[in-house]
Amino acid sequence: MSPFKRRKLKDDVNLLDLTPFHVYSHVLEENGLVSVLVPRFQNKILVKYLSPRLKDPNVKAKFDEFGSSAWLEMDGMKNVAAISNALLKKHGEKIEPVYERVSKFINQLYMYKFINFNEMKGEENG
């Protein structure tokens, strides 16, 4: 599978039942928001020879308040429904409609390979 090819969830999968986990690490910025550290290169040769010469081998994907909260809730133990409920408790009406927003966000994270799901480990989905 090409590293640039986007993934898509199968139509018969209920996203709310899936348990996401991080593929990349993150840093918590001074403002309390999350920046995910995405490696600049996936190719092992480029990583070995070019990454050491760069100021930073990662690109930061910066999240807003809701995205940061959702990312921090993803611990590989909670499913998407539980994450949505936690965000609803934390942010209240500001995050409504919570299930739709969280589902769309998590679907995008999966599509761009920032996360995977415990239930789909080992599957080449593409």
Q: What is the dihedral of CA 8, 11, 14, 19, to 10 degrees?
A: -20
Q: What CA–CA distance (Å, rounded) separates 39 from 13? A: 29
> Is 115 in contact with 106 (CB distance < 8 Å)?
yes
**Of 82 and 13, more confident:** 82
CA dist 100 and 84 (Å) reads: 9
Q: pTM (2 decimals)?
A: 0.81
Domain ranges of the chain: 15-118
Residue labelled with tokens 């799901």: 117
Per-residue pLDDT tens for 11-40? 777 899 999 999 999 999 999 999 999 987
Mean pLDDT across the chain: 86
